[in-house]
């Protein structure tokens, strides 16, 4: 009997340690029991979902921009409930630009008033291949699937029951490309003052999205970089929540930043903790990019208001062959103090002995552009 019991326990553990493809989530890293905050969130969400469905709300697919390489593609999206005829799904196409109509006022809090559809079956159609996945507890699907798509901007079709199909733009990187850009968003391309809790809350939940300002000169810098390096992918890596993905996409398009995938995080309680770790999200994403594109050297762009220099330095030390340079937008002493950080200078130990070809520090895009020309990046 003891042997049989041990055998049953072993089999159950083997099942839990298996890889679940839906949403790109591995059960081997999932705890045996959800965190109490996650269980409470799931219970509340289930009640709200039942009520919304009784009121006629329907499932809506929100596609996110993905990326890939020869033979594979990373597809990202989310299934949410919305009122009939009311959808915030961004238009299809590689640029993700809004239709040419008069922009309406969008408050940040509206992006967080969503109801996710958990464990929904989702069909991914990439080229001539089909894949069936399931959304995770936040309604997300994030998976790398097999697909034979031409290089450049393509589209992947996403289907779910009781929802209109959606097309997600995906950037297939040419295998000959050896240069790419990974850019932070907050206080790097968009002025958000994120480290300041009260002002960050105001900017995120209250401020009209059209009132957000771009960092001077950064859009011009990015345009020059992709002109100097044809085919270079531009990926926007941020600790921001997926809830604001459409807002960020509209902002980037409105201020003429190059189109590229957003790599954001889930907002709210996690399986094993109250909230996700933004720093670990960035570190894990950089490691993943180094594995997926081993021949690409990344230009890492961020700011010194949070932890970008430290994160980039650690990545450059562990993956020197995947770093072309590190460019840091330097906040003024006043901005740095208000942001809760000490000013960091280019002679900081973080900027030495990291394996990166060069560290560039400037307060805006014009300054970084001049330094990149001197470094041979432009």
| Structural domains of the chain sorted by starting position, each given as residue range(s) with its CATH number in brackets | 36-172 (2.60.40.10), 179-375 (3.40.50.1000)
Query: Which positions ≥6 away from 58 have C-beta within 8 Å?
Result: 81, 82, 84, 162, 163
The rounded distance, in Å, linking the Cα atoms of 246 and 229 is 27
Give the single-character DSSP code of 149: -
Mean pLDDT of 221-250: 93
Q: How confident is the model at residue 182 (pLDDT cuts 50, 70, 90)?
A: very high
- Tell me: pLDDT of 243 over 80: yes
Mean pLDDT of 272-289: 82
Dig out the tokens for 177 from the structure. 């490309």
Using DSSP bridges, classify how beta strands 58-69 and 72-82 pair: parallel, antiparallel or unpaired. Answer: antiparallel
pTM of the model: 0.79
Q: How confident is the model at residue 148 (pLDDT cuts 50, 70, 90)?
A: very high
Contact 281, 306 (CB under 8 A): no
* Number of neighbours of residue 169 by Cβ within 10 angstroms: 22
Mean pLDDT of 207-214: 71
The rounded distance, in Å, linking the Cα atoms of 198 and 8 is 52
- Residue 50 burial (C-beta neighbours within 10 Å; 0-12, 13-18, 19+): exposed
Query: Which positions ≥6 away from 266 have C-beta within 8 Å?
Result: 138, 140, 241, 242, 276
pLDDT digits (tens, 9 = 90+) for 73-131: 999 999 988 776 555 554 444 444 434 334 444 444 445 556 888 889 999 999 999 99
Q: Where are the beta strands (DSSP E) in 55-147?
A: 58-69, 72-82, 115-116, 121-126, 129-134, 140-146
DSSP bridge partners of 75: 143
Dig out the tokens for 38 from the structure. 């996650």
Mean pLDDT of the chain: 78
- Tokens 């393509």 appear where? 154
Mean pLDDT of 216-227: 97
The rounded distance, in Å, linking the Cα atoms of 177 and 171 is 13
The rounded distance, in Å, linking the Cα atoms of 233 and 270 is 30
Percent of the chain having pLDDT more than 90?
Answer: 49
> What angle, rounded to 10 degrees, do the helices at 278-292 and 308-318 form?
30
Contact 69, 292 (CB under 8 A): yes
More confident residue, 96 or 346: 346
Give the single-character DSSP code of 260: -
CA atoms within 13 A on the CB side of 208: 5
- Tell me: pLDDT of 175 over 50: yes
């Amino acid at each position: 009997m003891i042997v049989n019991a041990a055998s049953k326990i072993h089999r159950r553990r083997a099942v839990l340690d298996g890889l679940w493809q839906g949403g790109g989530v591995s059960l081997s890293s999932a705890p045996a029991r959800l965190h109490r905050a996650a269980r409470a969130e799931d219970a509340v969400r289930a009640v709200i979902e039942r009520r919304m469905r009784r009121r006629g709300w329907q499932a809506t697919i929100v596609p996110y921009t993905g990326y890939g390489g020869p033979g594979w593609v990373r597809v990202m999206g989310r299934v949410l409930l919305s009122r009939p005829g009311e959808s915030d799904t961004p238009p299809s196409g590689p640029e993700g630009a809004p239709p040419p109509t008069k922009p309406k006022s969008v408050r940040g809090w509206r992006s967080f008033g969503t109801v996710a559809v958990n464990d929904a079956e989702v069909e991914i159609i990439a080229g001539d291949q089909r894949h069936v996945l399931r959304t995770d507890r936040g309604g997300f699907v994030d998976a790398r699937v097999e697909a034979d798509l031409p290089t450049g901007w393509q589209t992947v079709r996403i289907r779910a029951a009781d929802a209109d199909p959606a097309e997600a733009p995906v950037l297939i990187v040419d295998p000959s490309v050896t240069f790419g850009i990974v850019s932070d968003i907050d206080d790097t391309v968009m002025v958000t003052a994120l480290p300041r809790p009260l002002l960050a809350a105001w900017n995120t939940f209250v401020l009209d999205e059209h009132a957000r300002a771009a960092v001077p000169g950064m859009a011009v810098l990015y345009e020059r970089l992709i002109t100097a390096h044809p085919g270079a992918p531009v990926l926007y890596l941020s600790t921001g929540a997926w809830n604001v993905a459409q807002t960020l996409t509209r902002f980037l398009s409105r201020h003429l930043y190059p189109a590229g995938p957003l790599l954001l995080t889930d907002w709210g309680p996690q399986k094993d903790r109250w909230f996700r770790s933004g720093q670990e999200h960035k570190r894990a994403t950089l490691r993943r990019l180094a594995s997926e594109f081993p021949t690409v050297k990344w230009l890492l762009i961020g700011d010194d208001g949070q932890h970008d220099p430290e994160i980039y330095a650690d990545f450059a030390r562990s993956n020197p062959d995947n770093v072309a340079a590190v460019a840091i937008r330097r906040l003024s002493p006043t901005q740095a103090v208000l942001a809760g950080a000490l000013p960091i200078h280019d002679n900081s130990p973080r900027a030495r002995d990291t394996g990166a070809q060069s560290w560039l520090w400037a307060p805006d895009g014009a300054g970084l552009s001049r330094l990149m020309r001197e470094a041979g990046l432009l």
